[in-house]
Amino acid sequence: MNKKSFGNKLIACPYIVWAAIFIIVPLIIMVYFALTDANGVFTLANIASLGRYKKAFAISIVYAIIATAITLLLAYPMAYFMTKLKVSSQKMIMMIVMLPMWMNFLIRTYSWITILANTGIINTVLGKFGIGPLKLINTPGAVILGMVYDFIPYMILPIYSVMSKIDNSLLEASDDLGANAFNKFKRVIFPLSRPGVISGITMVFVPSVSTFYISQKLGGNKTMLVGDTIEYFFNLGPDYYNIASAISLILMVLIMISLFVMNRFSDDDSGGVVI
């Protein structure tokens, strides 16, 4: 028993060391910078000054919510559809879903520029019909599109994996008890797939709210998201590490709060069926 648990600890060792060096220590450094001034003296001034960036915070959160919602609306039916296919087709589609992730994130985002630009593919084609050019690039829509495109695999994967594990006999049982397709979805499939939805939302919302590259390339420099703000300050040099850290810290706290709120919902498995 003792031996076994010692072995288990040993297995976890490499990751614990990794986590300590690359996660815990940087977090401590970030908190240190956030709560000190340029001379290393404790201060709350950085945090107090963040009111100036509330617009960036607000836009980031709103964009991330919209992007997550769109991702969910696209991914959920897709995942459901996949589970209905033959196993070989499921694997095939899974590969197609994963395919963009084999390419570099930056390149994927860049390719949207060539599609959406005023001289890009869409406007060129529309131009042939005498339409446009439409203003596609450098709009909030383009930023959200970029987020949806980049993060949708993280939504499809967990939903699909939870859904494909739903025991077919449960679906037969609901048929048997008189549930038509709508009731079967509402009372069995959706509640059972909720854990996948929750982790999908987490995995899309978190990177969306803190992203900086997508907004710069597809949103022009008009929309400063929190991620862009942080990057901007870090680029200004060591004097601005304190304010950048403070923004990062607050963003992290906001993300933690939203995840906590969401997990509240997912823990609610008391079985109360919404009537």
Partner 1 sequence: MQKENIVELKDISVAFDGETVLDSLSLDIKDKEFITLLGPSGCGKTTTLRLIAGFLEPDEGDVVFEGKKINGVPAYKRQVNTIFQRYALFPHLNVYENVAFGLRIKKTPEKQIKEKVNEMLKLVNLSGFEKRSIGTLSGGQQQRVAIARAIANHPKVLLLDEPLAALDLKLRKDMQKELKKIQEQLGITFIFVTHDQEEALTMSDRVVVMDGGKIQQVGTPQDIYNEPENAFVADFIGESNIVDGIMLKDYFVEFSGAKFDCLDKGFAPNEAVDVVVRPEDVDIVPENTGMLTGVVTSVSFLGVHYEIIVDIGGFKWMIQTTDEHFVDDKVGLYIEPDAIHIMKKSKYSGLYGDYSSYSEELDLLSEPQEVEE
The verdict on 191 binding partner 1 (CB under 8 A) reads yes
- Least separation in angstroms between residue 62's CB and partner 1 is 32
Site for partner 1, residues 192 to 221, rule: CB under 8 A: 192
The verdict on 88 binding partner 1 (CB under 8 A) reads no
> Looking at 3, 15, 86, 167, which residue binds partner 1 (CB under 8 A)?
167
The verdict on 99 binding partner 1 (CB under 8 A) reads no
The verdict on 87 binding partner 1 (CB under 8 A) reads no
Three state DSSP letters for the chain = CHHHHHHHHHHHHHHHHHHHHHHHHHHHHHHHHHCECCCCCECCHHHHHHHHHHHHHHHHHHHHHHHHHHHHHHHHHHHHHHHCCCHHHHHHHHHHHHHHHHCCHHHHHHHHHHHHCCCCHHHHHHHHCCCCCCCCCCCHHHHHHHHHHHHHHHHHHHHHHHHHCCCHHHHHHHHHCCCCHHHHHHHHHHHHHHHHHHHHHHHHHHHHHHCCHHHHHHCCCCCCCHHHHHHHHHHHCHHHHHHHHHHHHHHHHHHHHHHHHHHHHHHCCCCCCCC
The verdict on 267 binding partner 1 (CB under 8 A) reads no
- Span from 125-133, 181-189, 229-237, 254-262 in contact with partner 1 (CB under 8 A): 181-189
**Closer residue to partner 1, CB minimum distance, 111 or 266:** 266
- Least separation in angstroms between residue 79's CB and partner 1 is 18
> Looking at 87, 180, 238, 260, which residue binds partner 1 (CB under 8 A)?
180
The verdict on 185 binding partner 1 (CB under 8 A) reads no
The verdict on 266 binding partner 1 (CB under 8 A) reads no
The verdict on 274 binding partner 1 (CB under 8 A) reads no
Give the residues lining the site for partner 1 (CB under 8 A).
167, 169-170, 172-180, 183, 187-188, 191-192, 269-271, 273, 275
